[in-house]
Chains A and B, each alone.
Chain A
Amino acid sequence: MAGVGFRRWAQALSKGKGSGISALLSGCRAASGLSKDSLPGPYPKTPEERAAAAKKYNMRVEDYEPYPDNGEGFGDYPKLPERSQQERDPWYQWDHPDLRRNWGEPMHWDFDMYIRNRVDTSPSPVPWSTMCKQLFGFIGFMLFMFYVGEKFPAYQPVAPKQYPFNDLYLEKGGDPEKQPEEVKHYEL
């Protein structure tokens, strides 16, 4: 009984026309935001719906292209070209110069990814093949040289430390009466 009620509530929420806390409580939305017909809606099926959606998003009907309707949650949001903000003209008088965007312009779905601090799709100054060759060439060369250095180490010859007085027999607590064995660290 309680399970059925919970499922109903969860279904109502996910299909709900509301948003936020007001939806949780009463299933309706505050009137202070945009009206229902200027918010994104479901995928447009008829040409009239497409025209209305294009007008809503301030785009030409020919330019407006929604994401394909395959249930991934886009609805009627327009599919804009995948270009970063860095590519836009730096000398034009944008309304928001740091974002290189005008007021009211439709935002890309991944706008927060394409800001100038993040992903950049602008053309690279050097061809891709050159960049790959330089980077992986350098890394490969360094790895190879480190491997060779591990295989053929080159350092000054070392030997164990040699102590005097028969390897410090008395200092190490040897019996003063007994004669220790002679330790010779040299050869003549």
Chain B
Amino acid sequence: MADYREAPLATRPKTLDPNEYFNLSPEQRRAEEARGALRANLKRQYQLQLNNPHRKELIEDPALTRWVYARGNPYAHFRPTNKTSLLGAMFGVVPLFALYYIFKTDRDRKEEQIKAGTLERKFSLSS
């Protein structure tokens, strides 16, 4: 297993991750503890709401609300830069003109062939 190489865009299994075995300094441990404390706090809030016998409504998840809001309002933070303008042109403007040109020339060519009587009507499915 020493020569294991993960697939591109995939990750290493946790048991083969060197971080698991070598990152045990006190700072790492303190960081893990802080993360655990945050997690435990959130768990506690959720459990309190979940097991509350007087609760009648759904439990609202602020992280979900934030995610939906962020995904729904990107234009508030949009700025036209080189990259964003290029992407916008490539995906929005170029296909419009390119597809029009492609379809028009192909259909005009076919129309010419039909008018001249040279269009070959084959029975094969692939063309």
> B residues within 8 A CB of A14?
75-76, 78
Bound CA span A103–B75, Å:
28
Complex Cα–Cα for A43 and B74 (A): 12
On whether the beta carbons of A58 and B43 are closer than 8 Å, the reply is no
- Are A38 and B71 in contact (CB-based, < 8 A)? no
Those of A74-90 within 8 Å (CB) of chain B:
74-75, 77, 83, 87
Q: A107 near B63 (CB under 8 angstroms)?
A: yes
A123 to B31 Cα, complex, angstroms: 26
How far apart are A66's CB and chain B's nearest CB, in angstroms?
11
Contact with A along B72-112 (1 / 0, CB 8 A): 11111111110110000000000000000000000000000
- Complex CA distance for A19 and B78, rounded to whole angstroms: 16
Determine the main DSSP class of A at the interface with B. loop
| B5, B34, B61, B80: most-surrounded residue (chain A CB, <10 A) | B61
For chain B, residues 1 to 25, give those with C-beta under 8 angstroms from any C-beta of chain A: 4-13
Closest chain A residue to B68, Cβ basis:
A107
- Across the interface, A74 reaches (CB within 8 A) one of B6, B64, B77, namely B77
Interchain CB contact under 8 A, B6 and A123: yes
B35 within 8 A of A: yes
Determine if B115 is an interface residue (Cβ-Cβ < 8 Å). Answer: no
Min distance, Cβ B81 to any Cβ of chain A, angstroms: 5
A71 touching B81 by the CB < 8 A rule?
yes
- Chief secondary structure at chain B's binding surface: helix
* Interface residue? A15 (CB, 8 A): yes
Q: Which of B34, B46, B72, B75 contacts A104 (CB 8 A)?
A: B46
Of A19, A60, A73, the contact of B77 (CB 8 Å cutoff): A73
A40 CA to B79 CA, complexed, in Å:
17
Contact of B39 among A34, A73, A102, A127 (CB under 8 A): A102
Cβ contacts A to B, 30 pairs, < 8 Å: A14-B75, A34-B66, A38-B66, A39-B65, A40-B66, A40-B73, A60-B31, A60-B35, A60-B38, A63-B35, A70-B81, A72-B74, A73-B74, A74-B70, A75-B70, A75-B74, A75-B76, A95-B46, A103-B42, A103-B63, A106-B66, A107-B64, A107-B66, A109-B70, A109-B71, A123-B10, A124-B7, A127-B7, A128-B7, A128-B8
Which chain B residues have a beta carbon within 8 Å of chain A's beta carbons? Answer: 4-13, 31, 34-35, 38-39, 42-43, 45-46, 59, 61-67, 69-81, 83-84
Nearest 5 pairs of A and B residues by beta carbon: A73-B74, A71-B79, A104-B42, A103-B46, A128-B7
